[in-house]
Each structure stands twice: as C-alpha cells, then as structure tokens.
Chains A and B, each alone.
Chain A
C-alpha cells in the first residue's frame, strides 16, 4: 500500500467509524472521502481479493446474496456489498469496512450497477462476471437495452481474461463476439415448439440478421430457447441447465438443475433464474450440488423482499416493483397463490421510482382479471395513474377502492374480505408504507430488504 492509499484508507475507515457510531449511517460517504484522496484506491483495496461481479437489470441483489451463501459452503471469508451500495463509492466503502483477512485469499462477491462495471474493472480484474438479464428499466435514467449492455461491455473490454457467466436465455448476451471465456445457464425443461414472444416485448430482433426471433420454448419476456428462422442464429450451448420445473407457489419453488433437485423458499420464475445463476457460480468455483442445495435451504433471510407482515390478522406481503418485466413476474407469482387474496397497488414517481409512470402500461395487469380478486386498493402519490391502469385492466368499480393516503390504505387493508393481501409498491411508496407500519407497531423500523 502506497502512502497515499494508506492515508486515504485511514480517512475512509475513520469516517465510516464516525458515521456508523454516531449517525447510524455511512454507506457511501467513506468511499467518497477515500476516492477524493486517492482516485485509484480500488486497485489497492481490491488486490487482495478474488472478485466476482454480478450485474444486470433485475435480480442483482438476490443473485448476489444467494451466490454468497452458496460460496460460503466452501470459502470461509467472503466480502459482499449491501444492497443499494452498488456504485463506485459504495464498493470502495465495502472494501474499507472489511476486516483484514487472516489467512488465504478471500473472495469478494459484488453487486455492481451496469454503468459502474467499468469503474471496477479499471482497477480490478474480476475472476468472473455474472450477467443476469437486461430489460427495459427506468429509461429516463438508463437508456435503451443495447446502450445498457454496451456500458457493461465497455467495462468487460478491460479484462479479457475474466470468465463471463451469462443468462443464455437472453439473446442480447449472445449478440457480440467477446474474447472472454463464457459459460451460459438457462432453462432446458420443455420439448421444442415454435413460438414468438408477446408483441409488447423488448429485444426480439435477431442480432445477426435483424429478423424477428422465434423460440423453441419461452420462459418470460424475451428469454428462452431462441432461434432465428431466417439465418439460424440460436441460443448457445448451455453449461448449466434447468432440467425440470416443479411446483411453484408465491413462497416456494421446486426445480432441478443438471438433474439435481433444489427447493428455494421464494416464489417467482425470476427467482429461479437467480438461483440458477448462483448455482452456476458455485459450480464454477467448485462447490458441490449437494452443498448448493444446503445453501438454498439454509438461507431464508436473503428473500427479505417478500416478508409477510401481520396487520391485525391480515397476512400482508409487500413486494417492490420497479419495471415492467419485474412487475409481470410478480403478477405471475401472485397468480400461483391457491388462496383468495386482495391486491394493493401503490405508485410514486420520485427519482428512485422512475419519474415516468408509463411503465405500468407495459405490465400485464390483465392477467389478474381471471382471478376474481374481491378487493383492489390503489394509492400513492400517483394514484390516478395506477387507478386508471387497473380500471382499464378490467377491475370493476365496486371492488376497487381508491385511497391516495397511505395511512388510510393501512386501515382499508384491515377491512378487505381476504386474509391474504399483496401490496405492490414502487421504491419510495414502499419506504413510506413501511414507515407507517413501523409507527403503528406492525414491523420494526428499517428497510428489511
């Protein structure tokens, strides 16, 4: 460590101690201070670690958490960054907070924002990357899917020897020739048919000849066993295959990967992709399938995004929604519930939510109408938008309660005719609701994600 790095590290660590001790905070400021003093600090801090970078639109947080628990089966020392700290400053802070490893070479499993991959690879050569998926996100901030992928590749270009472990079902990850070693994971559990993606799906053009892609099988959005009927471009050979899909409920999924049975305590096909990614990293790093299964079984707290809250006898599940593909998957997951349930939709449009609410129209709320939901509540700062969205989706007025005020939404929830209640909320709406629930004593203060 150079003198400059030493001073910078000390300054960052002290500021973390100060913030953590006196202000109960400190997720990115220490990194900011350290970076000011030594812009190249990541080279020094990261040199001791084998680093795995996890990036993509959806599933970064859960894939990171699952990967950490899988790797813990074999590796005792693993550093990881808390959710929300996936940009340069947060990553520097993560390294600053780490205790000095006593023996051996520790691992760092880092969730990294797509545009910040290059900020990491300028200084650190990762052992592996994981690419989860690239979907239409809040485009007022991030741009189109091809731009987002290019940002990731700009970072990858600096480290041509790092292995890429990518979602093979996503055509964009097969669209560019790369010098890196690549392994793919994907779903291989259906006999071949011939399908097209739903009309309102992103990224369905063949990257090779620009015709519309077809699919032998589709999971959701533009993911599946794709092929181009015009030029023969097709899904690459998979290294890790989901070979069987078993029972799915809102709180559990059973499946087999490479013939090995697994169960995770969380619903949603998207979470099976996350588990598949964690499995792929585990196998790449030499963890046995049995150990991976143990890790999946042992780790229930990583699924915090779907915590169930008891509100005077109602089983309330709050789920964060932030983009159309994620929303569709959540709606599909809720639809696997065999019990009757009520639905709450809370929409805000602050910076953290995405300031453009158009995306709710890309979500397929229409799939709910065959469920005969006895009560639907819409609220939040942009309640008018979400109210009209659900009206158009076919929710009848006599079952639809419009309540902008989140405090009153909690009261209305107590009155719905079902025990189960699913609350779909954007980021700041979720924070506001949790604060109210904490004030009323239904949950402890804190984010819980």
Chain B
C-alpha cells in the first residue's frame, strides 16, 4: 500500500455496542480499495491519546455503566482530543461517543455526567423511553441520503458552529423535536446511527479517509481516491 493512516479506536474495549466495531471494518475495507493501510490502535482507560500520533479516530457507543467510567477517564484526554479536532483531525463519533464530545449528558440514573466540550452540544435524557428503529436522513449540502438504525435514550441538542449530519426523513434523530440527526464540525462526524453507519453509508467512510489522507499527505493527488465508487449496500 502506498499510504498509511494511524487510527485511534477510542475506548474500543468499552464503547462497542450494536456492532459499532463494524465501522472499523468498513474503514479498512474502503481504505484497501484506496491503496491505504490502516494501523488501528485501541486507546482506553489510563492510556495516553496524543493528537500528533493519529490521523483518524473512531469513538463508538457504549452501555450506560461503561460510558460512566469513560466519562471520567476521557477528561484526562480532553486537551489532546480537542487539539486533534481543532487541527482538522477526522473523527467519527457514534451515540455515547457523540454525547461525550459535547458538554454533558444525563446518565441512566438522572445524574449529569461531563463530556469534554470539544463540540458545542449537550444531551438530556427521556423518561422510560428510547428512540428505537430504522432511520433515514438527508444531508442538505451533499444531497446524500443516509440509512441507519437508532437506539438511544439521550436527546441531543446541537450548539452554534455545528451542522447536523442530516435532516430526518423518517425516524427520530437527535432529540425527536428539531428534525436534526448527528453533527458535523470541522472534520468531525457525529451520529446516533448504528447499523453500523459506515457499512451502510460508505460515502461517509470515504469523506473521513479522504480528509485524513489530505491532511497527512498535503502534496499528494487523491483524485482517484475521491472518485472511488461506493456501491449501495443497503
């Protein structure tokens, strides 16, 4: 392979519900077709995350208990993660990962748990209800339609500077109220989609990989990679 990207799988041993690991598998699958080798490294509790070491990051969803523990530990990685995001590092965050990049979320017991506030959203809870089911959204800028399966108790509200990943065509989305789903900020893509998101929506995998390649190899020509056809899988 001509190119190489270092991928941080944030808390991959704790935040891994509903097949989210499939996002790593899908990144690998498309990376190979783009002549890119991925080195994937799980970065977990009490381990350092250094922004300079990574070209791409993935942060999946977790169960309530695991997410509580990660909410504490991730504070030690806050500065470097923020640095990575602000320097245009491509990052995909799903469900709990999405929530923890924001200011805070309300846990299963009603307690307010901190995120790292790298993105400007916050997440509330709903009483004895979850948004569960198939969901379809459309990104107004690219015109792309994304398919997924949502399963979340949290209701997330986006802040200034964040655009939604898409507008809800069918399903509930971030909070069931404002018609938004997910978030985009710089090269960070957030979503509640399982399914997993990248296996059903290869275009997002391509966006992430191309962004990482252009950032790491600013002088290379990636027109071929950008032209990689993504056949529908769903």
Contacts and interface: CB of A to CB of B under 8 A. Distances in A.
B26 interface: yes
Given A356-B132, A385-B234, 20 more contacts: A139-B151, A144-B65, A145-B63, A146-B64, A199-B42, A204-B13, A205-B65, A355-B133, A356-B195, A358-B20, A358-B196, A359-B18, A361-B21, A361-B22, A362-B21, A388-B234, A389-B22, A392-B25, A392-B26, A392-B29
B65 A357 contact: no
B195 to A, nearest CB: 6
A384 to B, nearest CB: 6
A312 to B, nearest CB: 33
Contacts of A210: 69
A201 B13 contact: yes
A355 B148 CA distance: 12
Contacts of A360: 19
A398 interface: no
B194 A356 contact: yes
A387 B132 CA distance: 24
Interface string B175-190: 0000000000000000
Interface string A129-150: 0000000100110001110000
A13 to B, nearest CB: 38
Interface of B: 9, 12-14, 16-22, 25-26, 28-29, 42, 44-46, 63-66, 69, 132-134, 149, 151, 194-196, 199, 233-234
A128 to B, nearest CB: 28
Size category, A interface: 20 to 34
A238 interface: no
Given A358-B194, A359-B18, A211 B45 contact: yes
Interface string A354-383: 011111111000000000000000000000
A212 interface: yes
B12 A358 contact: no
A124 B42 CA distance: 47
19 contacts: A136-B17, A139-B18, A146-B65, A200-B16, A200-B21, A205-B69, A212-B13, A212-B45, A356-B151, A357-B149, A358-B22, A360-B19, A361-B22, A361-B25, A362-B18, A362-B22, A392-B25, A392-B28, A392-B29
Residue in B19, B26, B149 with the greatest tally of chain A CB atoms within 10 Å: B19
Contacts of B25: 361, 392-393
Contact of B63 (A202, A357, A358): A202
B18 A356 contact: yes
Interface string A169-213: 000000000000000000000000000110111101100001110
Given A212-B44, A358-B195, A361-B22, A199 B65 contact: no
Interface of A: 136, 139-140, 144-146, 196-197, 199-202, 204-205, 210-212, 324, 355-362, 384-385, 387-389, 391-393
Contacts of A385: 233-234
Contacts of B21: 199-200, 361-362
B211 to A, nearest CB: 21
Residue in A324, A357, A384 with the greatest tally of chain B CB atoms within 10 Å: A357
Contacts of B9: 199
Contacts of B151: 139-140, 356
B40 to A, nearest CB: 9
A146 B69 CA distance: 14
Given A358-B195, A361-B22, A361-B199, A388 B233 contact: yes
Nearest to B63: A144
Residue in B25, B42, B46 with the greatest tally of chain A CB atoms within 10 Å: B25
Nearest to A394: B29
B13 A197 contact: yes
A393 B199 CA distance: 12
B18 A358 contact: yes
Contacts of A357: 149, 195
